[in-house]
Structure 1
Amino acid sequence: MTPIIMLLLAAFSSTMALIAALKIVFEKDVLKAIVISGVESLFYSILLAVFLAPDLLIAYIAVGLGLNSAILIYALRGGERYEETA
């Protein structure tokens, strides 16, 4: 790929990850926040692929997308799905 396309892809991925992070902060449904967190991890994975860091990419996909989401969803089974408003 050409360098300009790689830079545009990196800029798009980082912008989308920032938007996902802001969406997580204001989300009232905890399950949706966990899913959006997985989407944020996906955009960070694309960013790592653009920066040619395959070792970090593999670890981040395994932990950020897989293990982290699975543990949080398992922990959510014992609690409330919706955040209480004050």
Structure 2
Amino acid sequence: MSAGKVQVLLEAFEPDYKLIVKLLCGNGLCLMELLRLRIKDIYSDVGLTTVLNGKVDKDQTALLLQSLCKELHVHTEKVSKRHKTGLADSCK
């Protein structure tokens, strides 16, 4: 697909899903690798991710696109705030 077609495709997704698609396509992760990905496996400062039990049933290191590092950081901050708010609300 051309870059223009990929951009049109990405614009069709909602922001949270767009990040998932970018990780799948841009990082070459398969769906199960993405679903198993944990925050502690992402090293955005050096642009790496650790994929546990990857395609060959071994742990492997994959490059993380620099353009996704900021998006992942923003997303994790948003989810962290939502989690803290949920915990505070449940304690009331």
Pick the TM interval, shorter chain. Answer: 0.3 to 0.5
Of Structure 1 and Structure 2, the greater helix share is in: 1
Higher RCO, 1 or 2 (CA under 8 Å, sep at least 6)? 1
Provide the TM-score with structure 1 as the length reference.
0.34
Of Structure 1 and Structure 2, the greater strand share is in: 2
Provide the TM-score with structure 2 as the length reference.
0.32
